[in-house]
């Protein structure tokens, strides 16, 4: 089989945590970044859309780092490539832009190697993506699609997919200003009260039930005691918006590390909730993406 020279990959946005499912639950969302990788004579990287003018255009670019790590795992030298990124996923908004970049690099590299998907199946690709990202809550839905539960064992990262109740829709409210994930995570305490941990475990389990068939439970199921309030100093406007939406009966949470807000709604409520976006925030009515990363 000849080695392909051009691969195009699309990867969905994702929202992690979903309230109480800290570092474990994730949901793929229906808008995508597209990455084109062409074997070339020298490294060349171009970026359109989000991140243009801000991200590195050398071998430290996140897609290229993931690409190189995958070639290394496959036992192949890293070829020079022409890398073109069309980014729709906003950076620094808690919508999985870094996970999409990592997954894009892995899937593209795997596709460039004949038989690559046999050597590096989705389980191995997920583990590599989780190691590059540091956790698997966003990379799992970005790679696999849908609603995922990610977890780590002695032999690496794993994830399982679950079907989302078709009555559930998602509205994401995206602020103009970004917040670095590292800054938001640095606010989390090293320890939490046992009562809070136990409450969150119950809510996370309830959230699985709510998303897969009991959407009437989403208000209770999206309560969080582990991370959202601790992030308030970095994103007070986000936390205030979550509080206001929940006071109106909308199951709203911080999307990932923030500062975007994700609200679960019924089909009839999409426009009403989107209209609650503060001035300067962009409302996005989104489907749950069921396909995950795709070679185009």
* Rounded Cα gap, residues 59 and 228, in angstroms: 35
**What H or E segment, with its residue span, contains residue 9?**
strand 6-17
Could you read off the pLDDT of 125-180 as tens digits, one per residue? 999 999 999 999 999 999 999 999 999 999 999 999 999 999 999 999 999 999 98
* 259 preceded by a cis bond (ω within 30 of 0): yes
pTM: 0.95
97 marked as binding residue:
yes
Strand, coil or helix: 102 = helix
Evaluate whether 293 touches 281 at the Cβ level (below 8 Å): no
Annotated binding residue at 96?
yes
pLDDT grade, residue 3 (50/70/90)?
Answer: low
Q: Is 95 annotated as a binding residue?
A: yes
pLDDT tens profile 79-123: 999 999 999 999 999 999 999 999 999 999 999 999 999 999 999
Token pair, residue 13, equals 């946005």
202 is in an annotated binding site: no
Does 94 belong to an annotated binding site?
yes
**Domains, the chain, ordered by start:** 6-163+290-295 (3.30.230.10), 169-286 (3.30.70.890)
Instruction: Report the C-alpha gap between 67 and 81 in whole angstroms.
Output: 10
What's the start-to-end Cα distance of the chain, in Å?
19
CA dihedral 119, 124, 98, 38 (to 10 degrees): 0
């Amino acid at each position: 089989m000849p080695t392909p020279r051009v691969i195009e990959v699309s990867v969905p946005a994702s929202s992690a945590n979903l309230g109480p499912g800290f570092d474990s639950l994730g949901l793929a969302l229906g808008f995508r970044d597209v990455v084109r990788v062409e074997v070339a004579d020298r490294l060349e990287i171009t970026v359109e859309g989000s991140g243009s003018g801000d991200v590195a255009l050398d071998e430290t670019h996140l897609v290229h780092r993931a690409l190189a790590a995958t070639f290394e795992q496959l036992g192949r030298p890293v070829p020079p490539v022409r890398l073109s990124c069309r980014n729709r996923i906003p950076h620094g908004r808690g919508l999985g832009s870094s996970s999409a970049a990592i997954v894009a690099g892995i899937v593209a590299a795997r596709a460039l190697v004949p038989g690559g998907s046999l050597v590096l199946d989705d389980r191995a690709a997920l583990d590599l993506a989780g190691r590059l990202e540091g956790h698997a809550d966003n990379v799992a839905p970005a790679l696999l699609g849908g609603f995922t539960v990610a977890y780590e064992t002695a032999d690496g990262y794993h994830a399982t997919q679950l079907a989302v109740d078709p009555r559930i829709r998602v509205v994401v409210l995206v602020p103009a200003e970004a917040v670095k994930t590292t800054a938001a995570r640095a606010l989390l305490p090293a320890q939490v009260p046992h009562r809070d941990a136990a409450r969150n475990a119950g809510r996370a389990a309830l959230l699985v039930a709510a998303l897969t068939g009991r959407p009437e439970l989403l208000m209770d199921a999206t309560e969080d005691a582990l991370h959202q309030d601790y992030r308030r100093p970095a994103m007070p406007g986000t936390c205030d918006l979550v509080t206001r939406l929940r006071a109106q009966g909308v199951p709203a949470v911080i999307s990932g590390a923030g500062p975007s807000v994700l609200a679960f709604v019924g089909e009839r409520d999409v426009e009403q909730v989107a209209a609650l976006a503060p001035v300067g925030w962009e409302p996005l009515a989104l489907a749950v993406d069921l396909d995950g990363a795709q070679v185009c």
